[in-house]
Amino acid sequence: MVSALLLTPVLATADDYDQVRERLSSLVNGETNISIAESPLPGILQVRLGSDIVYMTDDGRYLLQGRVLDLDTREDITDRAKSKIRQELIDGIDYEKLISYGPEDSEFEIIVFTDVDCVTAGGCISRSRSTTMQVSGSATRHFRAPVSVRKPFAR
């Protein structure tokens, strides 16, 4: 007697992530945007928490922080996701709110994300003014943000 087993791929829906989303909501503040997607790892979901990427088991029990590397393709899966986040952040910058040194129509532009709560970062702003003046055609733009905006787990 021959028997056959039919395996049907099941695509996860937003409802499948409710348990994971509920568990994550207890770990982060209510203002943190949570986005959940499949990852290339079986049973592991890729989770975006604000501007960070973490991984969580599909039952919501375990949370993993770190990089996922595909050794066959040598691709950094985590960095690929973070690149999209970085581009969204840069696209959403309001240039009117930046501390800027250098010409408006500069050939080169450096955007520095500065922690407003850090004394060392304040020194960086003043040093960049003199450095910008030395590099022809460049401008430095400082985006002031507290560390808690960039890292949802920061306390």
Rounded to an integer, the average pLDDT of 74-90 is: 91
Low-confidence winner among 3-7, 61-65, 83-87 (lowest mean pLDDT): 3-7
pLDDT of residue 5: 34
Residue span(s) of the chain under CATH 3.10.450.70 come to 14-81
Burial class, 87, CB count within 10 angstroms (exposed 0-12 / middle 13-18 / buried 19+)? exposed
- Read off the pLDDT of residues 97-116 as tens digits, 9 standing for 90 and up: 887 777 778 888 877 777 76
Please state whether beta strands 138-144 and 108-114 pair in parallel, antiparallel, or not at all (unpaired).
parallel
Taking all residues of the chain, what is their mean pLDDT, rounded to a whole number? 76
Q: Which residues contact 129 (CB under 8 A, 6 or more apart)?
A: 101, 140
Average pLDDT over residues 45-65: 92
Q: What is the pLDDT of residue 142?
A: 74
- The residue with greater pLDDT, 62 or 3, is 62
Residue 117 or 10, more confident: 117
Alpha helices, H only, the chain = 18-25, 77-91, 119-134, 147-150
75 or 26, greater pLDDT: 75
CATH of 14-81, one of 3.40.47.10, 3.90.1150.170, 3.40.710.10, 3.10.450.70: 3.10.450.70
